[in-house]
Structure 1
């Protein structure tokens, strides 16, 4: 990064000089609380209109230098601020009474303000609620806490980073993740290693910025919202040591798919499938065909898996289709679920030191967490340490910095979310029939001893011909193989503040990130897919560095009723990524993670480097008049290395606020305490996710003989690619009622994104596959609400409710044009979108049910009823799945050859007589927009807080109403494959068996003909996304102050809590919170955690 050091040093020297200050005097005082008269440590004492001030010590005392006539503002979070004008006295004692959160100081874009005066939307996260949750990653703690914030837990593995989305979907192919700011240092949302390194116990507060007035000052990086994280700082005069220890049990407690768990029932279902197949294939005796083919034939299962004491043809009573009651098991197969899932122990400990005086403040923390998952051999371990330091060597100079280190290891957690992975125990547990044992057995049913690892040998199914997950055993591989990530993260932040005058300040901050990740994938040499090659090892060494340099000049001054803050700044960011990969096979030493212990390289070692830079110039204005009229404005110009020809974009915003209740005409409105109206508008840019948009990339290849070749990358360069731009408008209000007992906030927003980054498919003759270009428009509109109610406020009992929610819609308002012909697309087959629909509207074939006559699966086929007889006739245009048709496209009076889907045809021929009929051939069914969307009607969360004397209890919930999920986990369990290949959902009990039967489950027929298509993707597997979850319950007990003081301590508390305790959805096992629209059976379901903890302060 070129930081122009000469210019910076010149600027710094110009500002760092001697100034003459007015004559000051030192005033002192004590701050206490009205409720109990006790001293209030950590209260802020600021000279109004400046950044000059102090904090009260442990005894509530403060000392600050002021001039006569200055106004001191004394404030504390949750208390009403008090203003005191300095006169002749040198002592000013102040009493603060309980207030509301409107006076709370919050960090926003490069400045601090109060919720009362901020014109944008800054949601302050309830940190007590976050602390209640036992999580290893801060992103997991946000679920259900903030309106408009959707937390997607794609993997519930220990330490996993959740995906956070703020206010819907701002892009189709671009970036959708928020920007994280930790103590002023920016961190991209895709920097998962950095996010994992942050100890939630170190966090003082979190603020989520949503609208343009709040985020546009961050330019393109804040296009999808900003999460501000401030870590704990030391306080002057308050020396504190804090120790907390938590012990937990992790388990799989949430609902799972209901599957066939009885081997006998599975054989009944299999027999019925074979009998139906016998009927369809014209067997003379379908019943005998079914009995004779259960075991030992190409249709049936290998005899090794007959666990009963009679041959396979005697298992089922042919007169009833039920399992023969006289048959006994020779042995009971070991349960795949019991072998894969158990309980894990989680241990967390944190030690924190903080304190300081008027000159120096410090905070030091040490953290440890060992989080053992419930899935076999999955674990996450992390060590953290942090130092935050601030020092004032001179009255006009403040220097500070913080440094944080984290070392973490995740084992067998990263790849288990892949449903198709052979090492995925989750998919195996639900889809493996109960007739199969986890372990290998001989012909007599005895467990086969393992000659290598000892104990019983796992069954990999290759030699025995097991149809389900042949040649693998995910439970065994979770123990014999290794998938491991070792992550080392270092975050540093250094800042300097120079008070040039009371109203002019120079600020400089440098921050750096170092994120090293070594991924190890070791496959054992004895069992599984790597056994034939003698084992294998794949190493991936990734290193990411990021540095950010900020220089800012801030003007802040009051003129009577006018308060003005204006700043101008320059910021530069450089991000670099490097990866080195190597692989080898044929292990010399079993279990080695060193490539030197393998004899045969797999290909050649490889490496590459990528990076990007961002250079920014920006300015912000905050103005208020009489503490009731507010104006904020910002402008920022970003230059990005991601683009070639059009690197620079200019963005900005303006926001207005009006506190109506401070007007004289509102003086007699008794029930309404506070009402602020606000509005904002801004323009925000986004660079997308690719780093080399304008540059053509070439690949270097090597064949097994060592020959080198060069190929062009699959994506073509576009030097003219430029910024996606969003125009964001918002109106809203914030209010409190009934002496602060009720708070209601509402925001309505409209986001219109233009110049969308599109991905177009290229013709095969071009030699490349895709190209990115700018075209199209997207609309996101929504409403958010927050309701806070203090239901009961008594001396010994209190009860409160916090409720939040959102509803939003998404629509493609303009389709992209073809980058080569300039013609506007009717349908985008890359993303399955069209104008007037949402990018999350479901486009697929429609399920038509089951033919009651023969049990066949049916789908809908659309056709052009040319003779208007209401019946599909041979030769009529149908299906529309990319087929050709003739239509006058260019309106020249002659038909042209065209191709496309039904949506395109109806746009080209709006008067066509299109009807639908049913078909038993999935390929002939027509893909359509189903009228169903993955977007819910409303979603959010709520929290109940209660307190009785020294006890506090809270419960936090999430909810979602409306929308549809493609339930792939259920889809897999409703397959119609050969018997023994897959397990079934219990709904298979409702499968069609006799003519005339009305059911929504088609016949089972062991993969006969078209029946193998039954579980292909269609609206059959679209399921309502409604859910209601209990995320956390926390019971806390605080020892009385008299007891604590007698022990020489400051505070002692004990906590009993549970996380992920309940999840109700339209189908047991379906968890729509783990994805956007599509779920599968192969994910690591969220941990349920029961915890006991203790915290001591002294």
Structure 2
């Protein structure tokens, strides 16, 4: 008691002295660009006394000499400054590592150190550089276990994204893509192949990739294949900032399929088929036409983007942007123009208790889609014929072989491009509004409502000129053209609506339980697509309109979800979630699916037994399990697969009633017992960060089992269709993946970084109920039913089914001779082998070097294993391919397999049985230098209010592979007439002011 009284009088005595020692400290806080920072926090260390800066970044605070002031601002490094004078100005630097810590997950966010699932964050410094026109190109090869394959060099080429391989046979295997809280539909607007064409890469802040079920299960039915969350850039509380970026890209043809050039072709025909030599050239003139070079061109892309960020009325962070991309594809007549606008507003109300975040994106695309049939025609067309008719001709000046019936032989490849016009336009709006209310009087509880809409209007208009379709007739000896006759038209409207409403309770505690974070809510998604197609047919050389076809499709998903995150003893992180989903694709009795998940993480670096280990910054062990569902089977069976529906039949199913032809209604196949496909995933992983952030990374291993597979399988006799979707069988996936980042040098003037990732995955079909195997497509340009794809129990889920070829002593193929695998003396289907075409291994690695203002980035990626079937070798790799028919009046080009004496392919067209040979398979392993970028940053003025960056880059510089075709990177494993990927060079600048 005496001690307390003494302390009381001591404090009472000293208080006036303390008060007298304090002084008024003033100053200005700016960012690393020299701009004032309004809203920056200045706190007297060790106390709760603090102030914030005004609109001009100025502050006033009471402090004593020797006190420490703590300056902080979101996204910038916190600084501590000792008071030594009455004026203290502070310049705050960006804290990239701090920004990297924030990971967006379903219905919330976490940090890297507190994440319990297999989640990867990719921010600006991680993403690919250079010729980037679509968002998918930013992450290609950058995330372990994420395989991104586009369908060639088309500016709007379709993409195939797989996270840890596919988990289904016929249901959708693409990941769920969420943009600012709005999940995208798996159906693209009409005429748009790549859903990520419709977002400006310049607007993207980060990607969060959710890989295992413990992290994706909160998204339920749409998350069986992983989730990619795209977060766009937001406004700032600081001073206004502007950015202008521009680049020009030039693309060249990186490779050609090896067919005969003109001189080689003449030699081949004269030596092999001299009786057809009179078909060489035109009227005695041998032309030198490289049809592949004629249909391709030097492509170009011009990208311009303008962005403004600021603090409206000193209270509302705002970001607005406008972008335009003009892309001329490497295939002639290929064009894509994209206009984007975006707006982000995040006001706060009621003393920061209510935060409203509004994101709005408008996208308009105008696309000219050429006739890609010109690619195949360029591989077949006679290289000794001219491009243009010396006499002018009746085909708009293009040369075309004809007879009394019209066009014969392959159509003029360039005419196919020039004399067809197909316009595919789309206007799209993606918007969301999130209301986050921290309840007054109970601030640990937050109510959240997120609404969103994805609305698009699309149109396709296609027109042909005569040489493309032979649409001409003769009247009084003169050709009459149905010039630019309409051949197809479609109008479409898509409306996707979203509503999420949930409560979030988060509170820190003292004791064993450190933190509790709980969410529970309801989700609603509705996807509507409606439109009309106007098909045409050719009658007497003219296009005739057919009856318009109208369609209306709707899919509805409703959900209830809950999740709890618990932190125990500062070391253990526990996550548990459950989601109940209902889908309109299933009958009422099977409509609901229930999907739980749980994960545990142990932060070993927080334990006492590692407290003396100074080189460990982070070491975390993760264990997770989750169950997710799959219902998206609209591709093979439509939107109402569980109920009996009837369609208006076409003229082939009609009957005569008097003198009138009456069409009938046709019953659609259906399966009332369809239910959820279910995928359970077990995941174990470890995250580490050593030696003061010099070495960091993660390693994960997983086992994934999918049951009640939604597979399109053969039906019993008498069924309405011979194949329909049913719940049959199981698959099992096993894999592991690793990512590593090494920073051996990181100083103010010099930085050296290396990064690498690799992933192994294989999926086997373990059960198909009573079915042993069934065809899974794989057309190779032969007759109906000649498919090489197969699904079978005990095999990989995507395989070829082929014979093992027999060769003679010199290594030459013996046609239709195959290995008798079961030694029964008969070559039959029992002797065919299952050969997977997907690689087991994918990888990527790169480096970043910065010396003062100069920086260099390089990224490579590739795959090990997998196979590709060369259908070009099958259909064009035989000598007689040059002579389609003895009386045809024309000759064709073939693959260049002539050595001057003999053709080293087959003499005649291989049989359909020979087409099932593994002779046509090649190893699809490759290493691609994806991009290399050299940049220079400088600030021309001392006040740093303006900064410039110039850069140059090259993409797709080379591919190392043993494959003899065009490109080994092929998602479907079959090369026919591919659209070549260009080699692209870029020059660009970024201006910040």
Q: What is the TM-score of this pair, normalised by structure 1?
A: 0.76
Distance 1:1033 1:177 in 2: 29
Out of 789, 793, 796, which is 2:746 matched to? 793
The answer on 1:628 being equivalent to 2:610 is no
Match of 1:897 in 2: none
Distance 1:978 1:1068 in 2: 19
- After TM superposition, list the pairs within 5 Å mapping 1:349-364 onto structure 2: 349-356=304-311, 359-364=315-320
5+ unaligned residues in a row in structure 1: which ranges?
1-26, 47-52, 65-70, 85-90, 275-290, 296-302, 310-329, 417-423, 441-446, 589-597, 818-823, 867-871, 873-877, 882-901, 903-925, 994-1000
- After TM superposition, list the pairs within 5 Å mapping 1:874-1023 onto structure 2: 878-881=826-829, 902=830, 926-929=831-834, 932-981=835-884, 982-989=892-899, 1001-1004=904-907, 1006-1007=908-909, 1016-1023=915-922
* Cα offsets for 1:457-488 (capped at 9, x unmatched): 22333339999x82522321211111221111
CA 1:740–1:273: 2 relative to 1, 3 Å: same
The answer on 1:659 being equivalent to 2:564 is no
Out of 95, 112, 119, which is 1:115 matched to? 112
Distance 2:572 2:52 in 1: 29
CA 1:78–1:398: 2 relative to 1, 3 Å: closer
Out of 476, 484, 500, which is 2:423 matched to? 484
CA 1:379–1:95: 2 relative to 1, 3 Å: closer
Tell me the secondary structure at the aligned position of residue 115 of structure 2. coil
Distance 1:466 1:792 in 2: 70
Match of 2:558 in 1: 615
Is contact 1:675-1:735 (8 Å) kept? Answer: yes
Out of 751, 774, 784, which is 2:727 matched to? 774
Out of 117, 125, 130, which is 1:128 matched to? 125
Is contact 1:847-1:860 (8 Å) kept? Answer: yes
- After TM superposition, list the pairs within 5 Å mapping 1:730-741 onto structure 2: 730-741=683-694
Match of 2:276 in 1: 294
Q: Aligned-residue CA RMSD in angstroms?
A: 3.6
Is contact 1:206-1:228 (8 Å) kept? Answer: yes
Distance 2:569 2:239 in 1: 35
Match of 1:1091 in 2: 986
CA 1:582–1:347: 2 relative to 1, 3 Å: same
Distance 1:639 1:44 in 2: 47
* Cα offsets for 1:933-990 (capped at 9, x unmatched): 2232321211211111111111111111122111223433313434345433344439
The answer on 1:473 being equivalent to 2:412 is yes
5+ unaligned residues in a row in structure 2: which ranges?
1-24, 44-49, 62-68, 82-87, 474-480, 653-658, 777-788, 885-891
Out of 450, 463, 487, which is 1:509 matched to? 450
Q: How far is 1:728 from its partner?
A: 0.5
Tell me the secondary structure at the aligned position of residue 125 of structure 2. helix
Distance 2:94 2:196 in 1: 37
Is contact 1:42-1:76 (8 Å) kept? Answer: no
CA 1:853–1:106: 2 relative to 1, 3 Å: closer
- After TM superposition, list the pairs within 5 Å mapping 1:286-685 onto structure 2: 291=274, 293-295=275-277, 303-306=278-281, 330-356=285-311, 359-395=315-351, 396-413=353-370, 416=372, 424-440=373-389, 447-450=390-393, 453=396, 457-463=397-403, 470=409, 472-500=411-439, 501-525=442-466, 528-531=469-472, 534=482, 535-560=485-510, 562-584=514-536, 601-644=544-587, 645-685=589-629
CA 1:144–1:527: 2 relative to 1, 3 Å: closer
Out of 641, 649, 662, which is 1:693 matched to? 641
Distance 1:944 1:547 in 2: 42
The number of equivalent residue pairs is 902
CA 1:256–1:355: 2 relative to 1, 3 Å: same
Q: How far is 1:524 from its partner?
A: 1.7
Tell me the secondary structure at the aligned position of residue 197 of structure 2. helix
Q: How far is 1:218 from its partner?
A: 0.3
The answer on 1:848 being equivalent to 2:813 is no
Is contact 1:215-1:223 (8 Å) kept? Answer: yes
Tell me the secondary structure at the aligned position of residue 435 of structure 1. coil
CA 1:398–1:668: 2 relative to 1, 3 Å: closer
CA 1:29–1:777: 2 relative to 1, 3 Å: farther
CA 1:527–1:124: 2 relative to 1, 3 Å: closer
Structure 1 runs of 4+ with >6 Å offset: 27-33, 35-46, 53-64, 81-84, 91-99, 464-467, 585-588, 990-993
CA 1:707–1:851: 2 relative to 1, 3 Å: farther
Q: How far is 1:543 from its partner?
A: 1.6
Out of 838, 861, 886, which is 2:796 matched to? 838
Tell me the secondary structure at the aligned position of residue 137 of structure 2. helix
Out of 165, 171, 183, which is 1:186 matched to? 183
Match of 2:477 in 1: none
Is contact 1:522-1:537 (8 Å) kept? Answer: yes
| Larger mean Cα displacement after TM superposition, 622-631 or 936-945 | 622-631
* Cα offsets for 1:1024-1055 (capped at 9, x unmatched): 11111111111111113xx2346x84321112
| Larger mean Cα displacement after TM superposition, 1059-1068 or 110-119 | 1059-1068
Is contact 1:151-1:1073 (8 Å) kept? Answer: no
CA 1:563–1:260: 2 relative to 1, 3 Å: same
CA 1:57–1:350: 2 relative to 1, 3 Å: farther
Match of 1:911 in 2: none
Distance 1:118 1:485 in 2: 43
In proportion to residue count, which structure has more strand?
A: 2
Distance 1:991 1:856 in 2: 20
Match of 2:155 in 1: 158
CA 1:1034–1:206: 2 relative to 1, 3 Å: same
CA 1:954–1:713: 2 relative to 1, 3 Å: farther
Is contact 1:955-1:1033 (8 Å) kept? Answer: yes
Distance 1:44 1:695 in 2: 62
Match of 1:805 in 2: 758
Distance 1:223 1:854 in 2: 47
Is contact 1:857-1:1002 (8 Å) kept? Answer: no
Distance 2:53 2:722 in 1: 64
Distance 1:1013 1:689 in 2: 32
